Each structure stands twice: as structure tokens, then as C-alpha cells.
């Protein structure tokens, strides 16, 4: 998967959500998030085994894995076959890469806040559990349960300083992060 795939996914699902009678920006964001998560996982693997991004960027490695099999053996917990790449990227990327390219998600205050919010919205869309709702209330509504909105309604609200909808802010963030990951500023 390449960066352009994410851009195309954003356009495809945004166009879909804008079509009447769809209007389901929550579904669109969920579909985009799945592709974004896949992109992050594939890029993490690519970088950890020493391969370049589509722009030719190769991060310097603190740890170099021979191939994906060796990396997965390192990442896998116990007998599990599934690897939760996003949590592994957050926990381990700083130990694998010098000048960690994934820091844009975890150290940049603006992108990190948007990442955390998107993740909580995604989890609530997927599970609608009490725990997912609590996390969404905490990350998106300042802990105020009385301000809670269902994801689709929340995504259509406008942010005060930019006048952009939350949906647009989130999809712009995804596109920005993708570009920064494949070609970080030097």
C-alpha cells in the first residue's frame, strides 16, 4: 500500500458520505481508518526490515530485522497469531528507529491529539461498548458525558478556530501524517 492509496480512500469514502441519502461520515471515517491502520502496519514492517518508503526515505535503525518473519517473531505475544501493530508501533518504534519517523503520531501534540480522538471514535463505532464510549467522552468531549454525541453527529460539528468539520480535520490529519511518514522533514 502506498500513500496515494490512502488519499484515494479518503476521496472515495468522502464522496460516498456526501452522496444523498448516505451522509454517514462515521462509516466513511471507519473505512478510512482501517486503510490508515493497514498503511501504518505495512510501513512499519517495511522500515523495520530496512526497506525504503515510496519516496526513497529509509530511517536509520537501532535494531535491524532480517525479514518480516523475524520481526513478527519479535512482535508476537505468546501463541497469538494476530499482531496489534498500532500498539506495537507506539511501544516499540522508538527502540527500533533512530529519529523515529512514527514520532509524528506520538510526540507532535496536534497530530497525537487527533490520532487519539480518531482512535476512540473508531473504537466506539466498532464496538459501542461502555468502555469505548467512556474513552470517546474523555478524548473528544473533555470528560463531559453531557456533551456526548454519536460519532456521525460529532464528525459533522465544526471546530471553532478553523471552521472545518471534525471529519475534515481528521481526514486532513491522516493525509498529512501519511506524507510525513514517507518523507519526513530533514
pLDDT digits (tens, 9 = 90+) for 136-182: 999 999 999 999 999 999 999 999 999 999 999 999 999 999 999 99
The reported pLDDT for the residue numbered 82 is 83
Residue 58: pLDDT band (50, 70, 90) is very high
The reported pLDDT for the residue numbered 95 is 95
The reported pLDDT for the residue numbered 149 is 96
- First CA to last CA across the chain, in angstroms? 24
The reported pLDDT for the residue numbered 67 is 93
The reported pLDDT for the residue numbered 133 is 96
The reported pLDDT for the residue numbered 103 is 95
Q: Any idea which residue has 468502555 for its cell?
A: 131
> Angle 85-96/68-75 helices, nearest 10 degrees?
110
What are the distances in angstroms from CA 84 to CA 77, 87, 88? 10, 6, 6
146 alpha-carbon distance from chain centroid: 27
**Nine-digit cell at 63?**
535494531
Compare 81 and 73 and report the one with higher pLDDT: 73
Q: Tell me which residue of 33, 48, 8 sits closest to 121, measured CA to CA.
A: 33
The reported pLDDT for the residue numbered 1 is 84
pLDDT at 115 over 90: yes
φ and ψ at residue 157, rounded to 5 degrees:
-75, 150
pLDDT at 80 over 80: no
Count of structural domains within the chain: 1
- Residue range of the domain that includes 50: 3-182
Q: Is the pTM of this model over 0.75?
A: yes
d(CA 42, CA 47) in angstroms, rounded, equals 9
The reported pLDDT for the residue numbered 142 is 94
**Model confidence over 89-105: pLDDT tens digits?**
999 999 999 999 999 99
Contact 49, 67 (CB under 8 A): yes
Amino acid at each position: 500500500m502506498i500513500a496515494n492509496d490512502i488519499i484515494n480512500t479518503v476521496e472515495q469514502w468522502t464522496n460516498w458520505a456526501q452522496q444523498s441519502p448516505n451522509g454517514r461520515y462515521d462509516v466513511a471515517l471507519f473505512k478510512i481508518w482501517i486503510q490508515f491502520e493497514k498503511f501504518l502496519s505495512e510501513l512499519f514492517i517495511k522500515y523495520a526490515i530496512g526497506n525504503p518508503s515510496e519516496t526513497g526515505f529509509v530511517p536509520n535503525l537501532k535494531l535491524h530485522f532480517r525479514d518480516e518473519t523475524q520481526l513478527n517473531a519479535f512482535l508476537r505475544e505468546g501463541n497469538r497469531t494476530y499482531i496489534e501493530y498500532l500498539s506495537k508501533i507506539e511501544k516499540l518504534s522508538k527502540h527500533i528507529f533512530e529519529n523515529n519517523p512514527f514520532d509524528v503520531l506520538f510526540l507532535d501534540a496536534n497530530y497525537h491529539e487527533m490520532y487519539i480522538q480518531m482512535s476512540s471514535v473508531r473504537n466506539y463505532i466498532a464496538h459501542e461498548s461502555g468502555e469505548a464510549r467512556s474513552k470517546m467522552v474523555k478524548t473528544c468531549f473533555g470528560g463531559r458525558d453531557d456533551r456526548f454525541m454519536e460519532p456521525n453527529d460529532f464528525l459533522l460539528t465544526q471546530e471553532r478556530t478553523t471552521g472545518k468539520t471534525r471529519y475534515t480535520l481528521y481526514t486532513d490529519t491522516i493525509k498529512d501524517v501519511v506524507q510525513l511518514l514517507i518523507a519526513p522533514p530533514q
